[in-house]
Structure 1
Amino acid sequence: MTLLDTSLAQLAQELPGATAIFNHYNLSFCCGGKHTLREAASKASLDCHALEAELLRLKPETEQDRDWTQAEDAEIIAYLLKRFHEVHRVQLVELKRLAHRVESVHGDREECPHGLTEHLHRMAMELEQHMQKEESILFPLLAGGQGMMADGPIQVMLMEHEGHREEVARMDALTDNLTLPRGACNTWRALYSGLEAFKADLDAHIHLENDVLFARYQGGPNHG
């Protein structure tokens, strides 16, 4: 089955980031989620193939499974910036929007993740500050062959990585470990699917930095 013949509801749940595209084009994946991408595009007078191409670009690159231990620092850094830094910034904007929608509409339900929007906002601010430190201080040192001067910044990044993991644990507590309640709407499902993808990306991001890039300057793998 191609994306064109997949329902908006299924795409919203299985392709993190799709909801942002649907929202941009005013395509309802919640109430109108039973329609296929082809049907929804036709109804809205949109180019279905152009829309499909936008969605296909959301699929993550396969380089994440590569053995990075043999790569140069500059190559790893370029990958980190594109695959994780850019992606996190987009992910969190949409996750905050979805969380706000769920809390606004379903706030009277016991299972509603009360406080999740505020928590994601705080996480986004902290992660943005962290990534800016890497981009402006640490990564230029490593890419420029000045890794011997990077011990202090690396220690700060390792400590902040532990803080990110604590924030993820708090997110899990707010969502009952991303457990969907019975009868959850498509927006709620898309939110938890997106949070799951964000968690996996953040974990892979931290692993590549801690255990590969930073470990080169720490005398061995550092697991935090």
Structure 2
Amino acid sequence: MPYMEQSLGQLARRIPGATGLFDAHQLDFCCAGNRSLRTATETLGIDPRPLVDALKNLEQRAAAEPEQDWSDASDTQLVEHLLVRYHAVHREQLPELIRLARRVEHVHGDRQDCPHGLADHLEAMAQELDSHMRKEEMVLFPMITRGQGGMASMPISAMRSEHDDHGTELRRLAELTDNITTPRDACTTWRALYTGLRSFRDDLIAHIHTENNILFERFAPAQVL
């Protein structure tokens, strides 16, 4: 079905990142989520073409792609991939997830299955993850791209330890959301939140795997236990 004929609610549920796009254009995907994109943009007098292009880009990014084997990439190519595919994407994902989580907790806080404390947990994750990525961007990655990866065993050890912390935080996220299981009667915002959470979780797991098991192994092989 063409994007223009789908409802805002359908698009928000199906495409990770669509909620942030709609929010930026003041398109109400929750209370007025049954309106088609065509009706919503016509009502506000918005040119829908940039929105459709942005939705296509979001959907293409979220779509399953043939997984590239990064083992043969150069150090510089691998670092650039990590920066673009994961660092930049996490910084887009988390502010929107925090906003959605706060909205769900505010509106549905009286429900037993509401993910109480999720927004605070995501905010803490965002701060810790941003600090972690900045360390890589300012210290570790420049060492690697300058050909000094062989001297980076200490920074790599520290980053691996912080990756373990991220894993603990993901397990806590799963506890708060019943393993990111959407209630049957959840509203559009709640569904969009959990769609985004699944995308973030999968991206973070792939991010950690690429660093720990491909990039870091080139310079500081982990001890097999």
Q: TM-score, normalised by structure 2?
A: 0.94
Percent of aligned pairs sharing the same letter: 50
Q: Which residue of 1 aligns with 2:61?
A: 60
Aligned positions, number: 223
Structure 2 unmatched ranges of 5 or more: none
- Give the Cα separation in 2 of the matches to 1:178 and 1:40: 30
State which of 106, 114, 128 in structure 2 corresponds to 1:112: 114
Q: Assess if the C-alpha contact under 8 Å between 2:16 and 2:196 holds in 1.
A: yes
Q: Assess if the C-alpha contact under 8 Å between 1:113 and 1:174 holds in 2.
A: yes
- Give the Cα separation in 1 of the matches to 2:66 and 2:214: 13
Q: Does 1:39 align with 2:39?
A: yes
Q: Does 1:26 align with 2:51?
A: no
- Give the Cα separation in 1 of the matches to 2:82 and 2:66: 10
Q: Which residue of 1 aligns with 2:128?
A: 126
Q: Which residue of 2 aligns with 1:103?
A: 105
Of 120-129 and 24-33, more deviation after overlay is shown by 24-33
- Give the Cα separation in 2 of the matches to 1:176 and 1:39: 36
Are residues 40 and 128 of structure 1, via their aligned partners in 2, closer, same or farther at CA, if it must alter by over 3 Å? same
- Give the Cα separation in 2 of the matches to 1:180 and 1:147: 43
Once the two structures are TM-superposed, the CA of residue 223 in structure 1 deviates from its matched residue by 8.4
- Give secondary structure in 2 for the equivalent of 1:103: helix
Q: Assess if the C-alpha contact under 8 Å between 2:150 and 2:220 holds in 1.
A: no
Are residues 57 and 69 of structure 1, via their aligned partners in 2, closer, same or farther at CA, if it must alter by over 3 Å? same
- Give secondary structure in 1 for the equivalent of 2:216: helix
Q: Which amino acid is the alignment partner of residue 77 of structure 1?
A: V
- Give the Cα separation in 2 of the matches to 1:16 and 1:155: 33
- Give the Cα separation in 1 of the matches to 2:205 and 2:20: 23
Give runs of aligned pairs for residues 1-224 of structure 1, distance below 5 A.
1-58=1-58, 59-60=60-61, 65-219=67-221
Structure 1 unmatched ranges of 5 or more: none
Give the root-mean-square deviation of aligned CA atoms. 1.7
- Give the Cα separation in 1 of the matches to 2:204 and 2:221: 24
Deviations 1:2-60 (A, max 9, x none): 32222211111121111011111111111211222222111211111111112222232
Deviations 1:107-164 (A, max 9, x none): 0000000000100000000000000000000000011100111100000111101100
Q: Which amino acid is the alignment partner of residue 141 of structure 2?
A: F
- Give secondary structure in 2 for the equivalent of 1:57: helix
- Give the Cα separation in 1 of the matches to 2:125 and 2:224: 21
Q: TM-score, normalised by structure 1?
A: 0.94
Q: Which amino acid is the alignment partner of residue 116 of structure 2?
A: H
Q: Which amino acid is the alignment partner of residue 192 of structure 2?
A: A
Q: Assess if the C-alpha contact under 8 Å between 1:7 and 1:34 holds in 2.
A: yes
- Give the Cα separation in 2 of the matches to 1:78 and 1:27: 34
Q: Which amino acid is the alignment partner of residue 70 of structure 2?
A: W
Q: Which amino acid is the alignment partner of residue 104 of structure 1?
A: H
Deviations 1:178-217 (A, max 9, x none): 1222310000000000000000100111111111111111
- Give the Cα separation in 2 of the matches to 1:86 and 1:127: 12
Of 52-61 and 24-33, more deviation after overlay is shown by 52-61
Runs of 4+ in 1 over 3 A off after TM superposition: 61-64
- Give secondary structure in 1 for the equivalent of 2:61: coil
- Give secondary structure in 2 for the equivalent of 1:33: coil
